[in-house]
A and B are shown apart, each in its own frame.
Chain A
Amino acid sequence: MPVSTQSPTGNQIASIENRVAAIESVLEDHAMQAAAFVDTFNHWATEEWVPENGARVVAKAWSEPDFRSRLLADGIAAIRELGLMMPAHHRHLVALENTATVHNVICCTLCSCTAFTVIGLPPDWYKDLEYRARVVRESRSVLREMGLALAPQIEIRIWDTTADTRYMVLPERPPGTEGWSQEQLAALVTKEGMIGVAKV
């Protein structure tokens, strides 16, 4: 929210709800059927673009070595096998595989880009100034603060989403899950795990 609701000229700043309604009416004037689209978008954002999508991808990659190879080689083609899509302007999806010696973490220092159709829309903390400023420079401390203490010998790789290539982390499969179904495995996978700020 603005620091002050007064504009520099002393007039009152319109409420955020009124500003949204005003611009929505402008799009309606230009025949964009804005109100109907808000309903459609709300469905996509809350029902379709969910981390359960990425969780299915991860579970399949853990279970099927051939799929894992295809995912690492061409992310968009691989997720299409599961009926998942990316927007047209995301032309490349890179899956970043965590191992016993390498831990990957995703950020966007310039804005807040993510592979949202696969891992879900980003939460506040990902879009906040603090995460964007700090994670590239003090990743180990930031991860520890967020509850993920990594051993000093593990190499951290931070991926700054500065173009339209999108990333998802392929977490390590937890021990003790041998023989689990893909459905059981998928239930373990979180958005935080696919951003790389938590283990699965």
Chain B
Amino acid sequence: MNGMHDLGGKEGFGPIRFAPNAPVFHAYWEVRANALYSLAVKHGVYNMDEYRYAIERMEPRHYLSASYYERSLTSLSTLCVEKGLVSREELERRAGGVFPLARPAVSGRTNRPGRQRFVAGDLVRVRSDHVSGHVRMPGYIRGKTGRVVSESPPYPFPDAHAHGIDAQTEPTYDVQFDSVDLWPDAAEPAKVHVAVFQSYLERAPQS
């Protein structure tokens, strides 16, 4: 989905809050939130793609204002309600107040039929797909051309896997883009490598 989470290349942000050797956790509830979402994965309540998608479905105002671990908690809780482990009313009764959850899911899509295999050196173009469900293609590469560097082992297709529909595994390609192609006249020169699922790619005219 063209959601608020898809941040690569968005403008207007200020300095990075950088400190060397920064602590990972600031409060024990953050450890608990992290532990509980991974426990639910371990027990097969949902998979990591469903987990990521439920974060992406958070209402944008909530997404932007929530800390990382509040997003984890919101995804975990949303999926527990959607999977029938608890009702929203019961969850709010136990929490003693309103419990903000993510917005509803829409339909997913299956792997693209007739996917092509690529090898290192191939020029590829990212298809101009606009996917309303879960997708692991950052918007900044949509329609852009890059060069395949290598192939990674196959993974379940996230656009299907996040929606509980048949997800075949497919390879991902390490594709190298030029930042000045991604944002013409509006980026600092660099190579940007993105792990791109096979279904998102088509062959580009070779040069």
Contact = CB atoms under 8 A, between A and B. Distances in A.
Using C-beta atoms within 8 Å of the partner chain, give the interface range for chain A. 35 or more
Nearest to B47: A89
A115 to B, nearest CB: 13
B36 A38 contact: yes
A101 interface: no
A149 interface: no
Interface stretch (A15-23, A53-61, A77-85, A179-187): A15-23
B86 interface: yes
Nearest to A165: B152
Contacts of B121: none
What does DSSP make chain A's interface, helix, strand, loop or mixed? Answer: mixed
A164 B48 CA distance: 10
Given A1-B66, A38-B31, A109 B190 contact: no
Nearest to A6: B98
Contact of B152 (A130, A147, A163): A163
Contacts of A41: 31, 34-35, 38-39
Nearest to A198: B20
Contact of A125 (B22, B97, B189): B22
A155 B36 CA distance: 41
Interface stretch (A62-70, A131-139, A168-176): A131-139
Given A21-B94, A129-B64, 18 more contacts: A2-B66, A11-B97, A13-B99, A23-B80, A27-B80, A110-B6, A120-B24, A133-B11, A136-B179, A136-B182, A157-B191, A158-B179, A158-B193, A160-B193, A163-B136, A163-B152, A163-B172, A190-B20
Interface of B: 5-11, 13-25, 29, 31-36, 38-40, 43, 48, 52, 55, 61-62, 64-68, 70, 73, 76-77, 80, 85-86, 91-92, 94-100, 136-138, 140, 152-153, 155, 158, 172, 174, 176, 179, 182-183, 186-197
